[in-house]
Chains A and B, each alone.
Chain A
C-alpha cells in the first residue's frame, strides 16, 4: 500500500489536472495503463487467426462465470470467474479440434449456451438488476485490491505471450508445418485460449460484456493497416490500445458517459483513420 501511496503522489506531480485529483480516476487510470497493453498484444493473434468470434464467446463464458460465482457464494467472485473462463475456453478449443462441425458452429453453440445459462441463474428469483452493471461495465469501481490483481495478471500474460508467440505464429501459418518443428498445436492453442480468458475475465467488470470483444479486435485491426512486420504490428497495436484507453477514459469523465463504450469508440475512430491511411503504408 505504501507503494500505491507513492504512485498516487507521483501522479499528483505528473498529472496536475482536475480529473487526476479524484482517487477513483487515479485507480481507473492505473488500471488502463496495466490492462489495455494486454489487449493490444493478444488482439494481434486474435485478428491474425480469425478468432474474433471465439473471443466474443469468452465474454459470454465469463457471464456464466459471474453467475456461478454468485450461486456458489462462498468463493471469491473474481476467482470463480477466472477459473470458469479458463475451463470454458479450453473446453471450446478442445471440442473444436475433436468435432468435424465447423468452428463457427461449435463456438456458436457454446457461446449461446453460456449466456443463456448465465441469464437463467442470474434471473432466478427476479434479482437480475444487480447484475446489469456487468453488461456495460463500470471502470470507476476499481479498487486498490483490483489494481494488485491486474498487475499480477499483466506480468503473467506478458510472460505467457513471450513464451507462446513464436509457436502461435507458426501454427497460424500451417499446423502441419508447426508440427514438423516440434510444436504441439493443441496444447499451444489451449494455453493461448486460457490467456485470453484470463484477460477477458479480469476486465469484464469495468469494460462490460457487450463490448469487451471490441478491445480484442480493434487495436490489431487498426494496427494491421499500418504495420509491415511483427514488431511494428505489436507496437502499433499496443499503442492504439493504450491511447484509446486513456483518451476514452478522459472523454467519458468530462462528458459523464460509460468509459468502456467511449474507449471502444475512440479505438474504432482510430481504425477508420488507419483504414484511410492504409494506401500510404501498403508495401
Chain B
C-alpha cells in the first residue's frame, strides 16, 4: 500500500530529483503542414510505468518514434541519472506492436537475438558463444523453450515476449512499449503485463506504455498521460480518469453511457481504493 502511494505522489510532482529520469522538453513533430503534436513535456521516472493514452491519430506512436530519433522533431530529450547528472542519451528498449509477420520467413528466435547482439553475420557464424546470454534473456520472459523456434511459428503472446526479451538486452534506461499486446489473446496479455509489472518493481528503468486497454492502464500505471495533438492532462490514473477532458475525449461516462465504458474506469478506481 505504502509503495503505491509513494509511486503515485512521485508521478505527480514534476521534477527529476532522487530518481533517474528521462525528460522530454517541448517535443513537437510536423508532417508537412500538419502538426502531429506540439509542446509535449514529460518526465518519466525510473521504477515507474507511464501510460500514454489517447484516441487513434493522437500522435502516441509518433511520439515514441520521435523519442527513438526515427522521426525528426523539435525539442530536447534529457536523461538524468540517480545522482542528478546529465548523462546524455538513455539506452532505449523498444517493443513494437504485434507484428503482422510473414509466417514463412525462416528466422529462428536465436537468429533474431544474434542479429541484435552481435556484429558477426548470422548466416555465416555460429551462435554458440552467445547462447548462454540469449537463454538468460529468454528466461527473463519465461520463454527459454522458444530458442530454436521459427518466429512465424510463435503465437502472438510468445512473439511479444521474445521481443520484450530483446528490448531488455542490454538493460535499457527507458523501455518503450507501443501497444505491445493489442491483438494478443487474454492469457498472453496477462503474462506480458505480469512480466512488465515485475520489471517495474525490480529494475531501475522508466517504462512508457501506449495502450488502449484502460483497465490495464489503471491497474499498472503510476502516471497517465492523455495525448491528443499535445498533452491534455497528466497525473495519477485516478486524476486522469476522473478528469472531465478524459471523459470528453473518450466519450466515456458522459451521462449514462455504455456499460462497457462504465466498466472500465471504476475498475481502476476500485483497485486504487483497495490499495
Contacts and interface: CB of A to CB of B under 8 A. Distances in A.
A177 B96 contact: yes
B99 A229 contact: no
A170 B114 CA distance: 10
Contact of A161 (B96, B104, B121, B153): B121
Given A229-B106, A230-B122, A283 B150 contact: yes
B131 to A, nearest CB: 14
Given A48-B105, A170-B115, A170-B116, A231 B96 contact: no
A223 to B, nearest CB: 8
- B: interface residue count bin: 35 or more
B107 A229 contact: yes
A179 B149 CA distance: 25
Interface stretch (B64-72, B133-141, B186-194, B209-217): B64-72
Contact of A173 (B99, B119, B121): B99
Contacts of A231: 111, 122-123
Contact of B163 (A177, A227, A283): A177
B68 A228 contact: no
B70 A176 contact: yes
Q: Mostly helix, strand, loop or mixed at chain A's interface?
A: helix
B179 to A, nearest CB: 12
Contact of A169 (B102, B122, B149): B122
Given A165-B122, A169-B107, A48 B69 contact: no
B68 A176 contact: yes
Interface string B111-132: 1101110111111100000000
B92 interface: yes
Given A177-B94, A229-B108, A233-B106, A165 B123 contact: yes
Given A176-B96, A180-B167, A162 B121 contact: yes
Contacts of A170: 112, 115-116
Given A229-B107, A230-B106, A232-B106, A166 B118 contact: yes
Which 9 pairs of residues, A with B, have the shortest CB-CB distance? A180-B94, A229-B108, A227-B106, A166-B115, A234-B123, A230-B111, A233-B106, A169-B115, A162-B121
